[in-house]
Structure 1
Amino acid sequence: MRHIAIIGSGPAGYYSAEAAQKKYGEDVAVDIIDRLPVPFGLIRTGVAPDHQSIKAVSRRYEKTNLGDNVRFVGNVTVGEDVSIDELQGLYDAVVLATGAPHDRALDIPGSDMNGVIGSAAFVGWYNGHPDFKDLDPPLDAKSVAIIGNGNVALDVARILAKTEDEFVGSDIVGHALNSLKQSKVEQITFLGRRGPHQIAMTPKELGELGKLERAKPYVEIDDFPDIGDDAMLEPGMRKSVTHLRDFLISDPEESLKPLGINFDFFAMPIEIQGDGKVEKLIVEKTALDKDLRSAGTGELYELECQMVISCIGYRTPPIEGVPYEHGRGRFANSDGRILPGLYCVGWARRGPSGTIGTNKPDGFAIIETVAEDIGSGNRKEGREGLDRLFGERGVETVTFRDWK
């Protein structure tokens, strides 16, 4: 029997467990270990609550977990309840699938001010992550600045802009919905360093922005290149830019909507100002060089706002004793190998890139690597040893069936 421990119960973790089941059949025991007492990681706490079709992939993970040879072990903090060295002593392979749940730092003056929130915290708040249940974002703000031009930024804006009725069918948590019902937000501004042709927003999510009951998106025609240049974009990006161009079309009824969502392209925040809390954002206009990299032009303007939400990317938290690339915010690895018997997969391996589905081939590939390395030699104790260790330490775990 081969024994594999997977740290993290998100998509990368479950796809890796599924791959191990298919590779070894009954000749494997997989323990999926997670800090939270609930499974599914990013699916549960990262995907927007009004995107239920995306969250439905958890049914596939549940099927994996209901097999006898895959076990969810929740409420366990690696590094506190058990060390990486101890896990390596118990399992033939340890796979880090911890994702990238921490925000990249917004490294500008004033970023530590009240009213500046990272997207991991804000998304965690409306998704019911226990770390962020007491966040209390200042929703009495009239104006909110969202830094970033990706799908997370779109999710944040959409959640801020929706009416209570538009959340029907979602699984948004009660404390967030109650707060959002009292929101005073009248203007949301996206700030992105580059232009419409460089956004990381996908067509579906951009299309949703144009169908909100009480909000209208606005763009500036001067920010766009010639419409003929759209033909050179790949199809998905071309659809996204088409949505942006549709936002240019004026509709008298749409203009009466009480909430405006503005796109400020070629805009680089350089300082947050306020007397103890956010009052304004100092922004520098940018221009693109021949390699489409942005650089400041020296032209500044002020954006009045009372809340800033930073959606500029994520990083994997380091674990003591595991080599780490601080510049990339991920574990140091070569094709998923970190050290003998220690591996990483998903965002922990490659950084925060790709979609949920990208983790499937990644998970199957890492199990092939594990199989190549562990071969058919002597087997270790696995879950029996882990249970004994936790019994000695009084660690109370939560299994999948407990959670169900």
Structure 2
Amino acid sequence: MQMAIFRSRTWLSRAFSSLPSNLLRVCVVGSGPAGFYTAEKMLKAHPKAEVDILDRLPTPFGLVRSGVAPDHPETKIVINQFTRVAKNDRCMFLGNVNLGLSVSLKELRDLYHVVVLAYGAESDRVLGVPGEDLEGIHSAREFVWWYNGHPDCRNLAPDLQTTDTAVILGQGNVALDVARILLRSTAELATTDIASHALGALEKSSIRKVYLVGRRGPVQAACTAKELREILGIKDLYINIQDVDLQKSPMDEEEMRTSRIQKRVYELLSKAATSSPVSPTTGQRELHFVFFRKPDRFLESEKRNGKVAAVHFEKTTLKVDSGRQVAVGTGEYEDIESGLVLKSIGYKSIPVDGLPFDQHRGVVPNSRGRVLQTTSGDLLLLEEGLYVCGWLKRGPTGIVATNLYCAEETVVSIMEDLTQGPLVSTSTLSKPGREGLLELLDNRKVTVFPFSTWEKIDAEEKQQGSLKHKPREKLSSWQELLKVGSE
């Protein structure tokens, strides 16, 4: 498909004819919260900074668009702030530009004075237990991307019809999001921006029981009170929590004394356990919180080769290790039958050529956002002009707002390096920046989607959504996005 988006030499010459030559050229890779907050802080900190935000998708906003649950519209309001950043005269969004394919990291570093990598985590941690590749087992990330209309997971097709039970491994906020989407009324979901293919599948779903399984106890549950309160508040939902799991040790009591969040989560779980009826009513949907279990292996169906039928769990107990309670196996086992398993055990970042990367932690080695080439004793060798922000910097933790403070720290490091560090001399040299990048992409016949193209997609989604009384009807395939973007 030939598209005339940023494929014009006339456009290039017109776009740059009035720009001063002494601009600080900054490239931010990734248009999620970390990327946009970094761009915003950079524009405010340096009056001559020109910031380009790249993303491999045609659409901006990262996990705000593809990660935040559809029934959490208030969290997505930050898009308004990011839109103002994108429309700043010194900022440009360049979608459909894939780092490592469209352009290399080395090329970006040659084109720009400063490169900030903020592309997040687009892969998953693995358990490494037998049967993990059986059909019916997905990562929570894939499932979230599926119901949020991410084009990479449009065709995931999780099996919601041949089983009545789903097992979710993990008890963090993402796990609770996934459970809530499976259990919530589709009539309520129909008024959100959930992808239409996901809504259709959920309307036909046979899932009636969801097990949220954690290695440790309720005091160590990784969710927040807000998320927990929301799922416990689902109408006509039977909640099951074993009384024995709620017993607290002296170490549990100490953890609760030092963490208000952990204390509140435990109190909510305890209240739900005592207020819930002994058994569910006929047809009632069920949510089971299962603690002190770790997956040992996945069991294959005897009726359907290659399909998961159950999870074989080892019971655990807590042991103090380096001042922290960790789960250790007891040698006792039990099975939970399920034809759908969702692993919510953590996202993982992906390295690119030329980037130092800690494979064990899944992050880029850095000091306050400065990428480290190597460490030798007390000596830190920096990758000049290369920085990180967000999950690539600190790991997949925190909420949207966490990236604000993360970006502030990285931008402070950049400004220090510009005034008294390694960038003092190099920042005065002329760099091709945006003009050079667009020429390179034009030569490679890469179709670049500017923010104005996103606005066309945005308008189309909202128009289609209004016909269904939804905030938007997401275009969820690459073909749809490219088609509307090129019109």
Normalised TM-score (structure 1) = 0.96
The CA deviation at 1:176 is 0.3
Q: Which residue of 2 aligns with 1:271?
A: 297
Q: Which residue of 1 aligns with 2:24?
A: 2
SS across alignment from 2:263: helix
Q: Does 1:313 align with 2:339?
A: no
Listed as ranges, the matches of 1:86-165 within 5 Å are 86-140=107-161, 141-165=163-187
Would you say the 8 A contact 1:95–1:343 is kept in 2? yes
Listed as ranges, the matches of 1:255-270 within 5 Å are 255-256=280-281, 258-270=284-296
Would you say the 8 A contact 2:58–2:449 is kept in 1? yes
Q: Which residue of 1 aligns with 2:357?
A: 324
The CA deviation at 1:250 is 4.0
Q: Which among 280, 302, 315 is matched to residue 285 of structure 1? A: 315
Listed as ranges, the matches of 1:3-402 within 5 Å are 3-25=25-47, 27-140=48-161, 141-226=163-248, 229=253, 232-251=257-276, 255-256=280-281, 258-275=284-301, 276-290=306-320, 291-338=324-371, 339-373=383-417, 374-375=423-424, 376-402=427-453
Q: Structure 1 pair 351/226, CA: closer, same or farther in 2 (3 Å)?
A: closer
Which range moved further: 229-238 or 103-112? 229-238
Off by >6 Å, runs of 4+ in structure 1:
none
The CA deviation at 1:88 is 0.6
Q: Structure 1 pair 138/177, CA: closer, same or farther in 2 (3 Å)?
A: same
Q: Structure 1 pair 157/217, CA: closer, same or farther in 2 (3 Å)?
A: same
Code of the residue aligned with 1:35 in structure 2: it is: R
The CA deviation at 1:251 is 4.8
Measure the CA separation in 2 of the matches of 1:31 and 1:116: 38
The CA deviation at 1:379 is 3.1
Identical aligned pairs, as a percentage? 39
The CA deviation at 1:191 is 1.1
Code of the residue aligned with 1:235 in structure 2: it is: R
How big is each residue's C-alpha offset from its partner over 1:13-64, in whole Å with a ceiling of 9 and x where there is no partner?
A: 0000000111113x11101000000000011111111111111111111111
Code of the residue aligned with 2:63 in structure 1: it is: L
Q: Structure 1 pair 233/244, CA: closer, same or farther in 2 (3 Å)?
A: farther
* Structure 1 unaligned regions, length at least 5: none
Measure the CA separation in 2 of the matches of 1:31 and 1:112: 39
Measure the CA separation in 2 of the matches of 1:254 and 1:175: 33
SS across alignment from 1:324: coil
Would you say the 8 A contact 1:88–1:94 is kept in 2? yes
- What is the number of equivalent residue pairs in this alignment? 403
How big is each residue's C-alpha offset from its partner over 1:55-83, in whole Å with a ceiling of 9 and x where there is no partner?
A: 11111111111111111000011111111
Q: Structure 1 pair 3/217, CA: closer, same or farther in 2 (3 Å)?
A: same
Q: Structure 1 pair 227/288, CA: closer, same or farther in 2 (3 Å)?
A: closer
Measure the CA separation in 2 of the matches of 1:335 and 1:60: 25
How big is each residue's C-alpha offset from its partner over 1:314-337, in whole Å with a ceiling of 9 and x where there is no partner?
A: 111111111111000112223222
Q: Name the Cα RMSD after superposition.
A: 1.7
Higher-Rg structure is: 2
Measure the CA separation in 1 of the matches of 2:325 and 2:415: 42
Measure the CA separation in 2 of the matches of 1:400 and 1:239: 42
Which range moved further: 392-401 or 209-218? 209-218
Measure the CA separation in 2 of the matches of 1:68 and 1:44: 24
Q: Structure 1 pair 389/266, CA: closer, same or farther in 2 (3 Å)?
A: same
Measure the CA separation in 1 of the matches of 2:277 and 2:398: 39
Q: Which residue of 1 aligns with 2:20?
A: none
SS across alignment from 1:217: strand
Normalised TM-score (structure 2) = 0.80
The CA deviation at 1:362 is 1.3
Q: Which residue of 1 aligns with 2:465?
A: none
Measure the CA separation in 2 of the matches of 1:69 and 1:170: 34
